[in-house]
């Protein structure tokens, strides 16, 4: 099965959504990326169309913004 990527920044909304996504699709099916800690991957997230976190990029490259924790601009700051 193809893997989704879950981008987050450690915010409470992010942590809650991370638990939900892992419960729903399984930890093996999603890569968790903390772009607050790993800023080298912010550009990749933006390229994928991520505007805010938490967000899930599906295997088909659609972006699902899950609720709203922080904008990418906030994460960069």
- The footprint of a copy of itself (CB under 8 A) covers 4, 16-17, 20, 23-25, 29, 58-60, 62-68
Please state the closest distance from residue 16 (CB atom) to a copy of itself, in A.
Answer: 6
Please state the closest distance from residue 64 (CB atom) to a copy of itself, in A.
Answer: 5
62-68: Cβ within 8 A, 24+ apart: 66/17, 66/20, 66/21, 67/13, 67/17, 68/13
Closer of 24 and 43 to a copy of itself (Cβ): 24
Closer of 1 and 77 to a copy of itself (Cβ): 1
20, 63 Cβ separation under 8 angstroms: no
Closer of 40 and 60 to a copy of itself (Cβ): 60
Strand partners, 7: 33, 55
Please state the closest distance from residue 17 (CB atom) to a copy of itself, in A.
Answer: 6
69, 8 Cβ separation under 8 angstroms: yes
């Amino acid at each position: 099965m193809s893997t989704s990527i879950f981008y987050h920044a450690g915010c409470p909304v992010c942590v809650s959504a991370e638990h939900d996504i892992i419960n729903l699709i399984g930890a093996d099916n999603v890569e968790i990326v903390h772009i607050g800690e790993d800023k080298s991957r912010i550009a990749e997230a933006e390229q994928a169309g991520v505007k805010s976190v938490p967000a899930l990029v599906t295997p088909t490259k659609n972006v699902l913004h899950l609720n709203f924790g922080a904008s990418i601009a906030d994460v960069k700051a």
